Amino acid sequence: YFFSNGVTTFFPTTISGTHEDILFTLKKLGENDRVVGINLEGPYISKKNKGAHNEDVIRPGALSELKEYISASNGKLKLTTVAPETQDSLDFIKEASKLLTVSLGHTIADYDMSVKGFEAGAKNVTHIFNTMNPIHHRNPSLQCAAFERDDVFCEVICDGIHLHPSIIRMLYKILGPERMVLISDSMAATGLKDGKYMLGGTVETIVTNGVARTSAGNIAGSTANIMMGVRNAVNFGIKLEDAIKMASITPSRVVSIDNEYGSITVGKKADFIVMDSDLNIINTYKNGVKVF
């Protein structure tokens, strides 16, 4: 499915779960040669801005647990989300950022706390504007702390549902293609029909017209792939070459795999796609081999 949609590399992503469930999942993914990296989105997040996550398994960050997760994944765990206002999180971010990329998200952090999170070592924002406090002109929040730094990336779900096109254009003007990262936030229903699906094996979601929501009405991820996001970005007014950059080399830099992935350069993996002028996929190559 991903190859047919021009996606050569993606990071399987866990939702908040028990220690045992996450450990089991990371071991399985770590054994898969086709998995380049893994994203741990939760459980080190805020219960008040949990989104579709299961509140019962959300917990403070623990370095010993994170190290166990990295080991279980064969070192493929490259990214985790942390709410900087939670218990001992700043110390956790400081140490965790030495091991992998720390992203701030699923948080109620205000501006000051977000600044502290970035100063502690976080360098990314998880699906910006979603599951965080909105911007208020007298009470700035995480977004403002991220915008004013040159060393922070911001993930953008460009499915036309999570963010209004005007917000996409605003982010593009503020961040540029060097810091704006297109992500899919794809969940289990991606590429499939409307119906009921499980998120993380614990949260039931209902997909209607391609939009996934929990029974409480919270958006539960996306059913779009990243190529859809690229096409949307172009339709929203972003230059094609920048949209491609935001879906290739920029995300590779976030998780420090840009030495092998993200651009067509001598010495890197020969992963690339061929498209027509309407951005339809003609061919997909993985490691120099035509896979679609």
Instruction: Supply the residues annotated as catalytic.
Output: 185
Distances (CA, A) of 190 to 174, 228, 281: 30, 11, 18
3-state secondary structure the chain: CCHHHCCCCCCCEECCCCHHHHHHHHHHHHCCCCCCCEEECCCCCCCCCCCCCCHHHCCCCCHHHHHHHHHHCCCCEEEEEECCCCCCHHHHHHHHCCCCEEEECCCCCEHHHHHHHHHHCCCEECCCCCCCCCCECCECEHHHHHHCCCCCEEEEECCCCCCCHHHHHHHHHHHCCCCEEEECCECCCCCCCCEEEEECCCEEEEEECCEEEECCCCECCECCCHHHHHHHHHHCCCCHHHHHHHCCHHHHHHCCCCCCCCCCCCCCCCCEEEECCCCCEEEEEECCEECC
Sheet strand arrangement including 203-208: 195-199, 203-208, 211-214
Cis peptide before 60 (omega within 30 of 0): no
CA distances from 187 to 138, 190, 207, 212, 285 (A): 36, 6, 10, 8, 24
